[in-house]
Amino acid sequence: MATTGADSSLTGEQRAIRDVVREFAVEEIRPTARSADETETFPEEVWDGLADLDLTGLTVPEEYGGFDADRTTYSIVNEEVAYGQLAVATALSVHCLATECIAAFGTDEQKEKWLPDMARGRPVGMFALSEPQAGSNPAQMETTAVLDGDEYVVNGDKQWITNGERGEVCILFAKTDPDDPSSVTQFLVPKDAGVEVGQKEKKLGLRASDTTGLKFDDVRIPAENRLTEEGKGLSAAFRILTGGRVGIASQAVGLAQSALDEAREYAHEREQFDKPIASIQTIRHKFADMATQVHASRLMVREAARQEDAGEDNRVAAAMAKYHASEAAVDVTNEAVQIHGGYGYVTEFDVERLYRDSKITTIYEGTSEIQKEIIARGVLDD
């Protein structure tokens, strides 16, 4: 495809990063994707490759050995890794959420202790906000961290934790006062403090990414493991998640681009009525719609990233990008399956997996419904 307007606006360094990560996605991630999905096993050798490229330190400041990427570069990396496999991109983005929290809210001692090793890929980070009864409304969380001397005692259950099995350090959100919803606070909790990992979820898609619950039963952590002032946890979470939504939107673009490319290759090879199906008007119009959706999504993502890099308030732009790109990913992967016909419904072709994976982009880090509420608030109430 011709260079898009979104790509032509990148700096030379950003284009070079895009090309390196795309090559890694094609040569290292894609060959493992089908097996990882079928066995529901995360490809650790791919993670080590990401670490070798310094990508596990994307949101770690340079002084701690990190990449310290701007949001546009962060977006590019997420898109290209997702082009290889969404499960890998999801694991990386959650790890980066954890390191970003430590970088943004941690003390110098906390940063020195955790960030250099996390930038090198281990320990793997987790982000524990959602609970069985508190998803879209985290203020309803029931997990508590009550101060007892110079320690906090943590009790509660977290749900839908990416890197739940393989992760070793958790960014935890809990109430310091069981009766006060406004007391949500952010903590850093090593898994070996006594955190119990639940069973791995059986999922529609994203099967190579381990998703579990975490149980905290009188888990004791030092008071210095608190990352924010008491009661400042939710505002910290929302700040971090705005950038995270740009990352998820970018992943949706990469996934959709992958499906578009797979469908294009198939349409040129598959013949019906003595000609490639790429010459059939109905199929051609599908590609027109798919390409337009991918291009529009990428432009929206780039604009949301640009606003953040410029120091502007990008909450609405990030919500728009996440909403549009994730819904477009579902549409594009659906059409890719349709173009493949019966072959699109079997695991021999990657579009089946891409279709299954796409749905989660409309759910995690804020559902489409939540994004629309953020957008409406920005349009009507500000």
Task: Report, as residue numbers or ranges, the catalytic residues.
Answer: 365
**Cβ(337)–Cβ(344) below 8 Å:** yes
- For 380, counting Cβ atoms within 10 Å of its Cβ (0-12 exposed, 13-18 middle, 19+ buried), the class is exposed
**Cβ(296)–Cβ(328) below 8 Å:** yes
**DSSP single-letter state for residue 261:** H
372 CA to centre of own chain: 19
**DSSP single-letter state for residue 85:** -
Contacts of residue 287, defined as CB under 8 A and 6 or more positions apart, other chains included, come to 260, 263, 264, 267, 278
**Cβ(210)–Cβ(42) below 8 Å:** yes
Q: How far, CA to CA in Å, does 95 sit from each of 47, 69, 90, 361?
A: 11, 14, 9, 17
Q: Please report where in the chains the tokens 């009188």 appear, as a residue.
A: 218
Interhelix angle 30-39/86-105, rounded to 10 degrees, is 90
* The residue type at 28: E
**Cβ(170)–Cβ(143) below 8 Å:** no
Q: How far apart are CA 302 and CA 251, in angstroms?
A: 12
